[in-house]
Structure 1
């Protein structure tokens, strides 16, 4: 009887043991990340008065338990541990010396590290960043109190794309070899430190460098010419001993001659070198005087020719008049804001780089130089320095169209004269043109920060710094205002006819500027008496094109990638009609959606109005600009009343804290 009683209990025990076994095996199959130890060491080495790292406990896992500021990469297999890819701890009042940062060098798979706007101190020169070399792409340490010399180990980070050390107290010089050791760098921010010495010439070798800021230091010497041609004055401001374009301080004072010898240099060889230097200097001065006289005579003759040509030009007619007149075979016309020294010879002497070749023109970036003075260096070598050295313009070269008549060429020049009078903060200005029997050269402002298309669509992947919502909305408003203005010029008879996100450019101040307006009309001038209905239809086509640009801003999808703009408009309408509106928005806007989704939805409605199939339903550009302005106004009022306390005060926002892994998610959202 006892045997029958104990058997069921034994069976029950075995069943319970078997049920518990899979759970133990499952726990063993999910190993804890080996990156927990370096993170705990970092927490132990730094002060945390706000308890921001309270979730970082030794009994938990940084990946499965979601430690604050830590993002992990999913393991490739169930038996592999997850690895930490991002550590973003910004504005959390964390402190400690540089040794805390050194602890994070144990995160061997780390791709993105940001500790900006905290209170770390100590010398970075002793921190070894080299263990992070295989994967680190973004390093943001701005807005702390780091000291010491520039950390040489950063030069080992061969995959680094963005480096921000601004707002610290770093001393010494910028490493001369930085441009050769970090060739893939896209942004370099070293502003507001204590750096001295020259700007390394190796920075010119960084072909991918898109943003440079060394302002607010103690740098000295001449700005390398390629840097001067690419980056604005604000990139170098606040360095009293830095000179050359684009700054207004000239560098003549640095090219000092040594005449004879001092009290400690009285031997004959020194005196001989001083005499030779004097002789060379005298020869150079004579050559300079002769050259200046010849240049003055040539300039006077050219001015006389230009004055006669201007007196002969017919009245401005927007290219539509059929009245014939004598047309000079060659003509150079300058407008307000153009350099006084500009002529076609100066243009041709400049260093040119082809930016692209389109249906209407071939586009070049030209750095114009030249000077009627001569500077001699310590070795007696003559160095020519232009007054306008580094003045960069964009030149569009349009060849004469086959079959074009003399009247067509006259109307083309008249339209070019009209274009030179258009002035608006959101329009790329035409500064001058040169016309001959064979070609037309249009000289525009150089806009340094690329196009809206590049900001939205290029570099998606590990090195990507997404464009945040408020910036996108501002660029949309700027472009709308610029296009609305252009629709009013020449009595509203012109249209862009080829508006895309590629010809909306962004200047050094972060303002959008519309380019290439009316170039198609310039290629094929409209005949006299063209109808107002045709112009109105062309402007409504511009509105449709602008709606596609708004959809690119909202969705992150490129119209070119979709094959054509119709597909992008149709896709957006379909998604909205099926009440999946939130799926329209770019995944890079996820951090902004919490407080700005209403603005995104409002702008989406504006975009859908612009791309309406019926031309009559599309609003005028002036109305579109006003609607976007209203959206921004509502957003600014909302943010004014909802700003958190942590957003108040100074912050180094030169490096957005965003996910660097956007390629996969973006592709998924676009499918």
Structure 2
């Protein structure tokens, strides 16, 4: 009986071994990962069948036919975001054809085995978002093709090893959110000629920022050294970095004056915050003068004082000279202002410097380039109404009624009477929660856009006027210009320039809403640059440093030359002041209202930044930066903000556009898989398109502080394509 049992056991063991031996070497190596995982992860490996000849049909595995091998070999291992708890087995180093290892967003623990880097074909390793510990393995840079390394958000520690200088093909080094410490040794960065992204933020590095970091000539995006313990002065060599590079040096112990050379001129104050001893532009903290660094115009005696009462200060003669110079300067400026005012008054011109009049009508007084306002109607007239449904303004029972009203021209060159507006032909262009928009053709043939805000808010007249006047003072060639407004207790209207070619929505997807466009790369780049300039002006130069808070293609209007105009900023505040639903009553064009479609349930707005989707959030300029980044991705890909991505032959995953593009770059998908096929016909644009992708990805960082200012994004776009 015992002999029979031994024979049976031997038979079963032999049978088991025969089955195992049918699995190729790659499959045997991968089974080590299955063994290293906790029992709770069994479902993830349900189709990892050791009886298969190859692992190429297993979940998370990618295979290719490679030269020198009879069977397909494993080139990709991806188990990302699966909540997988395991250690990284050293046997994975036997996958000699493995190119991409993607295990991010799990609970891997322990160290990174040195033997892993025996997988000599590895060029991308994504282990971020785990619980890995220990130091960087010495054999890391033995990989001859290593390009992408992201070990962020783990518990790795130790100093930054100098052997990183041997990773000469490295393009992305991301070690943020670990426990690395000590000073960074000199000599690493001059050897990394291909490095495009460097993120060492949220560690415990100390000492000075290496002077040779300025030799990273291929760097793009953001140089992120924030939230460490770097001290001393900022090396001037950082100014030698490409002008497209943004700095993030926040949360350190840096001191002294911020250099003003090269790339430093493109940085905003956010880059240098939380360094108490740092001073100089762009921070609002001036550097105090010392006796060894005196200011021009201040004379010091031999003892370091100015010789006047033993205290430092200006001599009386210098004070008188400066006062006289100031007076002359003020008088000169005053003369210029008076001259310009009367010159414009006599010519009935516009307050912005245009290239002529809209439609060639001099009497109308329109500038050739509108600047800001409320022309943000849907992509084409037929979406919500028809010109056949138009009627005279004021016609029908829904016309203006009630108390007296004021029609006030914000632009002094814009002259027409209320009666002319009431008699004009008008057509419904669109309706939204921000009011109904009409195209109104005045008696002289010039069209304007008229937005009806609502009937309430009669108690807040001064507040309304103050807000409208602030909006009207915004003048920029890429922002729609508000021309006039009408106020009455039962009616509030805004009159702005009519932009003739619809919105970016119709330009991208056509009247039928298809997900493609014939727009050339030259035109798309022109639209992106113009919209960025307009938004940057609103953020940096407008009277109130406005936040748009609703940037999307339907709010970017185009003229016949595809010049873009940002529209619809400032409306939310005005709607709040009027205090009621703009579409709640018949409106002032009664005959047109039956042609308006019923409002549809609001969908998730994927143009909005993640933090903007939380109820009660206060709008910030970084909201606009994110939204612009999504619009730029839409221009590049031709896809809407929400897309379907196939996960297998039978299922799809709904991704927002930002996640889809990031996934593509992470997995190193060919550019042709992500870019709009129309752009592939312009072969010369490939490098420009790639540069625009990098700007869009920087704008759509999930962390608002990691996003560039709109000004920086605009300047970087201007450098593309000349």
**TM-score band (shorter)?**
0.3 to 0.5
TM (norm. structure 1) is: 0.44
Whose helix proportion is higher, 1 or 2?
1
